[in-house]
Amino acid sequence: MTRTWQIRTVTDAARARITVARLAAAYGVPTVERARLAAALSGQLRQCLTKGGPWVLTLDGPGVPDAHGAAGARGADSGALGAAGVPDAPGVADAAGAPGALDDAPGSPGSPHEEAALHAVLTPSPGAGAADGTPWTMTVPCPEPGRVAGTGTVPEDPAGLSEALLGADEDTAVVLDKLAAQEKLVAFHREELHQTNQGVLALHAELDAAGRAQREAFAAERRARNEAENARRRLTFLADASAALNASLNHDEIVRRLPELLVPRYARGVDVWLFDQDDDRHRPTTHPAAAVRAARTGRPQYAAGHPGGLPGVDDRPPSALDPHRPLLCIPLLTRRAPLGVLTLSPPGERWDPDDAVMLIELARRAGIALDNARRFEHNRDIAETLQRALLTDLPTRPGLSLAARYLPATHGLNIGGDWYDAFRQRDGSLITVIGDVTGHGLHAAVMMSQLRTALRAYAVDGGSPGRLLTRLHEFLHHLQPDLFATAVIARFHPDEHTLTWAAAGHPPPVLRLPDGRVRTLDAKPGAMLGIPLHQEIADHTERLTPGSTLALYTDGLVERRAQGIDPGIERLAAALGSFGSAELGADLDDAADRILHPLLSDSERDDDVCLLLCHLHG
């Protein structure tokens, strides 16, 4: 279908616009598109009328018009006039004689295959002398192509034309209504979007707050973990340092270990001031004022140009001895009174408060360790004095030399039950004895003294070594049923050059002959003294050759936990056999020292050591 209109006047333009709007509605063009087509066409028609000259409006669409819209009905519809397909045919008029409208073009039937759209083209009329201009075109879709109903007649009178023109604007009103509805919908969605945005912003704020809280929680957790690790590290150090300080009972060793423990982790420098040891072996007697105040008050002092902020520590001005170095002076407290002052300089600018608390606790433990060491050394000195007071000065006899050595154990009070003795009997013979009371400490030393005294009392009445040991066994069994002892008694006859000996549970004597051979006198000994068993301990006799040497000893000399006693006896025999008879006869004391040295190469001894050498001269 093709329709054309020749536009010369405003009335022509109005009629054409009305007809195009009706045809678009008939073809089912959507309201919005119809309104857009009508508005655009009105604007173009207004411009064409302003430019002047006839213009031709052509409308192409699918389908064939019905009887109401055909050329034969032109008299009924003055809006569909003119020659078919000839927009500029002169002298053409509608049935009412109104010029300007061209008829339908029945020769252009619509095809089912044509594009479902309306095409509007507005061009200048070539032969009418209209002003030149660019053709205007517009296309709108036709959802319902095919035959269309009649568009009705367009009235020619002004009133009818105006009414028809107003009716053509119904699409605009519908569009405006839809636009209002859309605006409401847009406003609704805008409000929804605003609320959504507010919710998103609130959500972001909550997420940000949650993130900050999470970061703060992670930071707090890291701080707590670091604090726990630091606390564990301090406690571990305090435990290890306390164990190291209390492992020794030598106060000089404890003083030496303090700097080794603290430098460089917790201090750059360490000074230990002990009140009763201001001599050349220790630190100079000039001490910081803070150390003196710590000694007087018993409170830790911090001397620096700035407050330390350390708990339990008094702040003091910088030390005049070293004003540029902070000092922490901690008293070494004991149960009775301060023992000294520990002065520290920080490893960095200052101490951490928790480190300072740990250092104060370490100083307290160091003070207790020093006090314990001093108490032990004092008691050890007393014990050694007592022990040596119980040991007899060896007698002298022509033709016989004696040498004895006693070494206390390096652990404990250095007092035990080992003893040696030598004394004369009425017949002129010489009794030598060496023994060992089980156990260690003061109780064993007292029991040893009682056995020594009892043996001397029994020897006044005479009797062989075996008989003397038998009486000691009965004495110990009745006096101390839960205490035992071992002993060896050897008697040298003055004129016969014989040796009578007896042993009770003791390591066997070792005899060196003049030719250098060494024998172990391991004839059957008696059992330990004091066991709940009746026994008669037998005597054994050896013929001695001048130049022979007898060694009596306790198990502390030959016994080692990892090796037993037999290898130790073999080492003693080898050491004794390495001497010549002349060496032993010339200086027996030196020989005793030379025997002990290889056998006691280790500095730590768990038991006392006794050695008694008896050398028979030629």
Hey, what domains does the chain have and what are their CATH numbers? Answer: 2-168 (no CATH), 251-385 (3.30.450.40), 393-616 (3.60.40.10)
Q: pLDDT category, 502, cuts 50, 70, 90?
A: very high
Return mean pLDDT, the chain.
82
Average pLDDT over residues 275-288: 65
pLDDT of the residue at 66: 42
DSSP 156-184: -SHHHHHHHHHHHTHHHHHHHHHHHHHHH
pLDDT of the residue at 334: 85
Specify the pairing of strand 314-316 against strand 301-303. parallel
pLDDT of the residue at 404: 93
Peptide bond just before 264 cis, omega within 30 deg:
yes
pLDDT of the residue at 113: 43
Which DSSP symbol is given to 408?
Answer: -
Evaluate if pTM is beyond 0.75: no
pLDDT of the residue at 303: 93
pLDDT above 70 (res 97): no
Q: pLDDT category, 481, cuts 50, 70, 90?
A: confident
pLDDT of the residue at 539: 95
Average pLDDT over residues 183-195: 89
Q: Residue 572 is inside which H or E element, if any?
A: helix 566-577
Query: CA-CA distance, 287 to 292, in Å (whole number)?
Result: 7
Q: pLDDT category, 177, cuts 50, 70, 90?
A: confident
The answer for residues whose C-beta is within 8 angstroms of residue 121's C-beta and 6 or more apart is 57, 58, 59, 60, 135, 136, 137
Contact 110, 63 (CB under 8 A): yes
Percent of the chain with pLDDT over 70: 84
pLDDT above 80 (res 58): yes
∠ CA 153-159-163 to the nearest 5 degrees? 60
pLDDT of the residue at 411: 60
Pick the residue with more confidence: 550 or 446?
550
Question: The dihedral of CA 486, 563, 391, 481: what is its sign?
Answer: negative
Q: pLDDT category, 606, cuts 50, 70, 90?
A: low
136: three-class secondary structure by DSSP = strand
Query: CA-CA distance, 269 to 263, in Å (whole number)?
Result: 7
pLDDT above 80 (res 145): no
Contact 424, 430 (CB under 8 A): yes
Pick the residue with more confidence: 441 or 16?
16
Among residues 494, 483, 495, the alpha carbon closest in space to that of 437 is found at 483
pLDDT of the residue at 359: 93
pLDDT above 80 (res 190): yes
Q: pLDDT category, 25, cuts 50, 70, 90?
A: confident
pLDDT of the residue at 127: 60
Model confidence pLDDT, tens digit, residues 518-542 = 999 988 899 999 999 899 999 999 9
pLDDT of the residue at 93: 32
pLDDT above 90 (res 61): no
pLDDT of the residue at 340: 92
pLDDT of the residue at 509: 95
Among residues 28, 64, 65, 59, the alpha carbon closest in space to that of 139 is found at 59
pLDDT of the residue at 369: 93
Pick the residue with more confidence: 458 or 390?
458
Contact 57, 122 (CB under 8 A): yes
pLDDT of the residue at 81: 33
